[in-house]
Amino acid sequence: MELDDLYQQIILDHNKKRAGYGLHPGGFPSHQYNPTCGDELTLTVRLSEDGATITAFEWEGKGCSISQASASLMTSEATGMSVIEFESFANGFRDAMRSRGTIALSEDEYGDLAALSGVSKFVARVKCAMLAWVAAEDSLILTRESLN
Ligand code: ZN
What's the gap in Å between 128 CA and the centre of ligand 1? 4
Topology (CATH) of 3-147: Sufe protein. Chain: A (3.90.1010)
Is the Cβ–Cβ distance between 119 and 129 less than 8 Å?
yes
Spell out the per-residue pLDDT of the chain, length 148, in tens. Answer: 566 888 999 999 999 999 999 999 999 999 999 999 999 999 999 999 999 999 999 999 999 999 999 999 999 999 999 999 999 999 999 999 999 999 999 999 999 999 999 999 999 999 999 999 999 999 999 999 988 7
Specify the pTM.
Answer: 0.95
Ligand 1 mean position to 12 CA, how many Å?
14
Q: Can you give the C-alpha Rg of the chain in angstroms? A: 14
* β-pairing verdict for 30-34 and 39-47: antiparallel
Give the Å distance between the CA of 87 and the centre of ligand 1: 23
CA–CA separation, 52 and 85 (whole Å): 10
Q: Are 143 and 27 in contact (CB under 8 A)?
A: yes
Going from the C-alpha of 135 to that of each of 40, 81, 126, the distances in angstroms are 10, 17, 14
Give residue 34 CA to ligand 1 midpoint distance, Å. Answer: 7
